């Protein structure tokens, strides 16, 4: 027997342990090389562990167990690579297939795959859901849930390491910074007209849509150049001035809020920013984000408008000195050239560390963002 140990991989110097949140395979499955095996939740990221070799896997740790970096959580018998094709097919399913399996209780091993090498696709699972289940098919057992007494009005579960860390950082940010929020509103008419005019051409050329976030990222970069105090941070009794423009974009995931960083936004085109945001947001939601993706940002943009938020006071992403909150776009009556007109308006909120940033600088920064969005030609001219 040739046994290979499956160990928790190093995640960075600051991470010493995590919770093995979920197994993607069952004990005794035949797995393939590079196949996702488990999800590991730490206080910073959620990542996947993969198989370094094909073979029969034996699980040593139950889902929900806290494990140290380097701990052995399973073994793979590389000599046992045959005899369980159905299990292998199920175990090597894509994230979309595994998600459908959980939602529909359809075992991928019972579905005829039409993908490469007989692999089960999302379409195969959807088609299987429309057919009567075969009598011999046995749905996989659902993960055990904490018992809740009949009629109970509460349930209790342990916070994940990531949620605990988010809670600690949010409280620390409020305790350590002299945080203040200033507001403004922006007329989105010009940006919306530009998107409507060029969206089809943009999609044909790039393969993805032009969103609002790239406009705000560019507006923020221009404003940071004008107000360098906001592109700085406090380190003890020193002020560290940043001369680069790595902007964090808050992404909501099932595990909590993450802020992947878009590097060198000042050198990227609008398409480059949109692509970068789409890439990191997708990896964040799939649990494939890395520590390197989350580190080094100088400023953060968070968009509560995607959930319908009208107004909020975002919390600074320490050690940064400010964060811009975007909100829902709503038609509102506004005064324009002595007339009341209806315009698509958005409230902007800039929370900043008053220890470093004065009110005049914060207000000027927000006005610069507003001007760039209401007159997008400024983004091209950097004025």
- Residue ranges of alpha helices (H) inside the chain are 85-91, 95-104, 122-129, 161-176, 189-206, 213-226, 270-285, 291-294, 359-374, 377-381
Q: Count CB neighbours of 16 within 10 A.
A: 13
Is-catalytic flag, 358? Answer: yes
Exactly one of 27, 200, 201, 354 is catalytic; name it: 354
Is-catalytic flag, 354? Answer: yes
Q: Distance between CA 240 and CA 317 in Å, rounded?
A: 16
Q: Where in the chain is the domain with CATH 2.40.50.100?
A: 3-129
User: If you search the block for the tokens 């520590």, which residue do you land on?
Assistant: 291
Q: Where in the chain is the domain with CATH 3.30.559.10?
A: 161-381
Say whether domain 161-381 belongs to CATH 3.30.559.10: yes
Cis? peptide before 18, omega within 30° of 0: no
Instruction: Indicate the fold that domain 3-129 takes in CATH.
Output: OB fold (Dihydrolipoamide Acetyltransferase, E2P) (2.40.50)
- Exposed/middle/buried for residue 254 (C-beta within 10 Å: 0-12, 13-18, 19+): exposed
H or E stretch at 344:
strand 339-353
pTM: 0.67
What tens-digit pLDDT sequence spans the chain (383 residues)?
578 899 988 876 667 788 888 899 999 999 998 899 998 888 777 788 899 989 999 999 998 888 998 999 999 998 876 544 444 455 566 777 777 777 776 777 777 777 766 677 777 777 777 655 444 444 455 555 555 565 678 888 877 777 777 788 788 878 888 899 999 999 999 999 999 999 999 999 999 999 999 999 999 999 999 999 999 999 989 999 999 999 999 988 877 778 999 999 999 999 999 999 999 988 888 878 888 888 899 999 999 988 899 999 999 988 899 999 999 999 999 999 999 999 999 999 999 999 999 999 999 999 999 999 999 988 877 66
């Amino acid at each position: 027997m040739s046994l290979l140990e499956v160990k928790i991989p190093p995640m960075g110097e600051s991470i010493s342990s995590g919770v093995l949140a979920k197994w993607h395979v069952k004990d005794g499955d035949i797995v393939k090389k590079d196949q996702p095996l488990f999800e590991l939740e730490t206080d910073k990221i959620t990542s996947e562990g993969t198989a370094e070799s094909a073979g029969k896997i034996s699980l040593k740790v139950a889902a929900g167990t806290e494990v140290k970096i380097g701990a052995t959580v399973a073994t793979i018998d590389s000599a046992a690579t045959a005899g369980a094709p159905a299990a292998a097919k199920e175990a090597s399913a894509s994230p979309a297939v595994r998600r459908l399996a959980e939602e529909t209780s359809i075992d991928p091993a019972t579905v005829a795959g039409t993908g490469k090498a007989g692999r089960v696709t999302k379409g195969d699972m959807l088609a299987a859901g429309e057919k009567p289940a075969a009598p011999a098919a046995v749905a996989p057992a659902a993960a055990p849930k904490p018992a809740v007494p009949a009629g109970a009005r509460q349930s209790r579960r342990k916070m994940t390491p990531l949620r605990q860390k988010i809670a600690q950082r949010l409280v620390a940010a409020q305790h350590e910074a002299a945080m203040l929020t200033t507001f403004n509103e922006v007329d989105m008419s010009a940006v919306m007209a530009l998107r409507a005019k060029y969206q089809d051409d943009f999609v044909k050329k790039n393969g993805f849509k032009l969103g609002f976030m790239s406009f705000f990222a560019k507006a923020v970069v221009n404003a940071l150049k004008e107000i360098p105090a906001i592109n700085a941070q406090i380190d003890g009794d020193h002020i560290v001035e940043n001369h680069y423009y790595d902007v964090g974009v808050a992404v909501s995931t099932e595990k909590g809020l993450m802020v992947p960083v878009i590097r060198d936004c000042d050198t990227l085109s609008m398409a480059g920013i949109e692509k970068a945001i789409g890439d990191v947001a997708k990896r964040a939601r799939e649990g494939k984000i890395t520590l390197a993706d989350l580190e080094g940002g100088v400023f953060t943009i968070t968009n509560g408008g995607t959930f319908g938020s009208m107004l909020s006071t975002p919390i600074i992403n320490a050690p940064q000195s400010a964060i811009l909150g975007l909100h829902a776009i709503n038609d509102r009556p506004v005064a324009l050239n002595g007339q009341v007109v209806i315009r698509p308006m958005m409230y902007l909120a800039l929370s900043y560390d008053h220890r470093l940033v004065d009110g005049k600088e914060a207000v000027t920064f927000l006005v610069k963002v507003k001007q760039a969005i209401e007159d997008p030609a400024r983004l091209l001219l950097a004025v």
